[in-house]
Every structure is written in C-alpha cells, then in structure tokens.
Structure 1
Amino acid sequence: MFPSKYPSSIGVIVNKSIYLPQTYKPQDLVYPDVPFLFQEKIEKRQLRSEAAMALKKMFVAAKKDGVYLSGVSGYRSYDTQKWLFERYMKRDGYLEAMKYSALPGTSEHQTGLAIDVSGADGKCAVSSCFANTKEAQWLSQHSAEYGYIIRYASGKEHITGYKYEPWHIRYIGPSKLALDMHKRGVCLEEYYNVYSAK
C-alpha cells in the first residue's frame, strides 16, 4: 500500500493499494440538494461541491425519465469507516469483509466524491437485488453523462478487488472522461493503468 499523492484531486484513485491520510477531510463538503432515504443532516449526507452539483443534475434528469433516485451514503470519515469495517469483520471475518468493505483510509467515501444511491422507495438499497431495478439500469446507462461512473462494475472484481456494486457511483469530473470510460467499458484502475491489490 502507498499513500495517494493528490488526495483532494477530483480524479484521485483510492483502492486497496492507494490510501488517503487518516486526517484527510475534503474542505468543500456540502449537503446535495437531492432526496436521501433519511432526513438528518449528518456526515453521510455530504459530498464535495462539484460532485453535489453534478448529482443534482443527474437526479433531475432521472426524474424526467420517471426514475426516482435517493441518496443512501456519501462522505464517510476515516473513523466512521474504521468502525464499519470492524463491525463487518466481527460479523463475517476479515477475508469476507474485504470483498465488500474498505479498510479505513481506502474507502472512496472518504474522498467525498462517491455516493451509494437507491430508488426513492429504498428497496434493495445497498443490496445485490438493486442491479435488477430500473434505477440501476438508468444509472448504468446515464450516470456517465453527469461525470459519474459505476465504480465497482460487474466483471471487474478481479481488478477493483470488490464485488459488483451497482449502487456505488463515483464522480470523476467532466462528463467527457466518464463517457470515454463508459464507452470503452473500463474501470478507473484500467483507465489510469493503476491496479488494486486483491
């Protein structure tokens, strides 16, 4: 593992090999003007400002198509990720937890650029059944138009080190980059030729 050189970059790569400093917290966190599955203004409701603006545009476009999205979990601090991972490890063991949860410092949620999304009804939120929903299909087809990618794509598990997560989207900047990745069918590690540890 080695530290990220540019933790505040919109294009930052964070994975099982590249980690963020324990003290890193984005300086431009805001509360996106989009629906969430909860009402409280708490840590996980935040995103970096550029990502939040793009998310709002995407949610508005989805609504025009009759697809109603909700946020589930955005920014997550190092300490929160540590608490979550330890909980999952106690429940499922270290190796199993590593397939679906990040060690503290290696979570994209700490960047403030990633968010878990569900349908407005919350059914299948952060669950494998989300892949079969119209919301997941819409995200797969359109998220790149707003600078977001499905970060842990199906068929890329051997590269990202994580199970397929159709609900986990990551803002990577201008839509041109996301659209190019979508067209080529590559994940972030492939695009930048930086691979993750298993």
Structure 2
Amino acid sequence: MTASSYPVLPDERLAAGVARLAVRHQGRYSVETVQRLIADSYEQLAANAHVRTHLVVLAERFAAERLDALAHIESPTGGERPRVLFVCSHNAGRSQMAAALLAHRAGDDVIVSSAGTHPSGAVDPHVVQALTEAGVALDEVYPKPLTDEIVQAADIVITMGCGDACPVVPGHRYLDWPVPDPDGAPIAVVRSIRDALDARITALLDTLPGA
C-alpha cells in the first residue's frame, strides 16, 4: 500500500504520533492501522472539544489506549492486571472522578479507563478542584467517547447514570453505582460525591486480585 492510500490525517502534526505508535506496535499493527485509529481518535475528540489546543496530543493518547485494548483483546494473557472501565453520560464528572480515585489508590496494579456515551467538551472544573484537594494528581484529563475495543477489553464495567446507552457485553462483570451527577453542583456537593465514590472504590479494591 502506498502512503497516499493511507487514511488522511486531519492534522499533519499527528504524523509524529503515528510514527511513535507504529514503532511501539511493530509486528502487531501496520502503519495504516495505526494511522486510521489515530485519525479516528482525533475526529471523535474534535467533535465535542471546547478547546482544540491539545487535540493532537490527546488524540495520540486516546489512540494509544485503544491500541492497547485491541492488543489485549486479540492476545489476552493470564495473570494480567485487572482492567476497570467507568462509564457515565458525559465523562466529565462521575466517571472521571471514579477513574482518578481508583488509579490513585491502586497505582500500577489496575488498568483504569473512563468514557462517556455522549462525551462533553471538558471536565467539570469543580470535579478537578475536588480531586486536587484530595491529593489526586490529574494528568490532563479529558472526556472520551466510548469505543468498542475499550469495552471489550475491560474485565469490570462500572456504569453511572447512562441508562440504556450503557454498554452490555456478555461475560463481563457489571456494576452500577447510583451516584448523583455533579454537573453544575456547588463544590461542597461535588466533594460529597467524591467521598461517596471513594468509599465505593475502597470496597471495589477488596474484590480485585492483586490490588
């Protein structure tokens, strides 16, 4: 296949990310596959982004997560770290807080993802504030759409308020956490939601192997 027949990149700066991810997955995925996925990741994020300044960087990160999920689906190995996916409607509040809290508590023992069935353009600033106050480091969090490979790769899918749009994949472990939506809530309410999620994370950790 010639370079001209590769999927078109919506931003030429994505080419560097394609090169990096192609090297990381050399022997598993072709450059064409990587380029297609990074272009799709960019377009999905751009569809809802309020600020496009960091879209190129975020698209590479999103594509890297999706490629890792695909690799896990195609070649699962025993004894791997458990993979937990949090899903809510907008991926701007509850699922972001839960994912950040679990990643903070479990460290490298758990692979954590979050996504939204209808992702928002930005994470709620009160959510960022409440997590920062709790000492949870945030690495440029951003709302992400729910994709098939991320769902398929998860061992546990935890849903929060996405209703019928929440994914259902046979054979997966599902939990539904009825936690209030922090969207538009004052910081005091967001802190209480954070603490409620943290209590649920504590209980979840007791059920995860190796965590």
Task: Flag whether TM exceeds 0.5 (same fold).
Answer: no
Of Structure 1 and Structure 2, which has the larger fraction of its residues in strand?
1
| TM-score normalized with structure 2 length | 0.29
TM-score by length of 1: 0.30
More helix per residue = 2
Higher-Rg structure is 2
